Amino acid sequence: MRARTVGRSGPSHVTCPVCGYAFRASHVGTYVTIGRESDFCPKIPGRPSDGARLIRNGITMCPACSFAAGEDFGGLYLSFDERYDVEVRLEEDGLLRVFRSNSPPWLAFHAAEICGKARGARSRDLGDLCLRASWVCRKERERPFESTFQLRAVRHFIRSLQDENLVGRELSVTAYLVGELNRRLGNHREALNWYVNAGRTTEGDPRVAWLDRLIDKQKKLAEEQAA
């Protein structure tokens, strides 16, 4: 397996666009991956909890008000209404209330999902946040939370497939992920339907031949598991 380096570099001092708190954000830096799992979770050398932390660092979260986003805070502008909506949603959220003090690594993705909704993010992007949260939970062996985030990712991805006119690679990958996450959740029949849907979207496109192979492999696995 070929090792790859992924990541972004950014300023480590940021100001929260919602509450104005200035803080030092955890530096994302770069990290090496040695391939990906079948739901695209990066395999990172070293302890799984270190990998979870590296994935978690893709999100910046304000320690004062919990505003969170995958983008650099420096480039963010929120309208008055968006800011108000973010504040209300963060304040009313039950999981944040319970987990804010010990801040498990998945919490940043949960907060980013809440803030993304308030800012009118695409369902595709909300699904991606939940997917990444599920990777972090798996690396942290938080099985019930992993399933919760997989289910939320599936719902966002299905809404995206219905409403957001996805095309090309994004369409194929999203349909595949609905299948793969359903398989991981134990819904094998549902998974098989979605692998078929995903396969229909890739037909004849050599650029996604790798995805066709992955779909075939996971379809066989789901068939065995469904039997």
Interface with Zn ion by CB under 5 A: which residues?
16, 18-19, 21, 62, 64-65, 67
Give min distance, CB of 177 to Zn ion, in A: 31
Per-residue CA distances from 220 to 48, 173, 177, 185, 207 (Å): 28, 18, 15, 16, 22
Q: Which is nearer to Zn ion, 55 or 65 (CB)?
A: 65
Q: How far apart are alpha carbons 101 and 63 in whole angstroms?
A: 10
Q: Which is nearer to Zn ion, 111 or 130 (CB)?
A: 111
Give min distance, CB of 14 to Zn ion, in A: 10
Q: Which is nearer to Zn ion, 67 or 149 (CB)?
A: 67
**Close Cβ partners of 12 (under 8 Å, ≥ 6 residues apart):** 24, 25, 27
Give min distance, CB of 64 to Zn ion, in A: 5
Give min distance, CB of 132 to Zn ion, in A: 21
Burial class of residue 153 in the structure, from the number of CB atoms within 10 Å of its CB (0-12 exposed, 13-18 middle, 19+ buried): buried
Q: How far apart are alpha carbons 89 and 113 in whole angstroms?
A: 11
Q: Which is nearer to Zn ion, 34 or 64 (CB)?
A: 64
Q: Which is nearer to Zn ion, 22 or 196 (CB)?
A: 22
Give min distance, CB of 105 to Zn ion, in A: 19
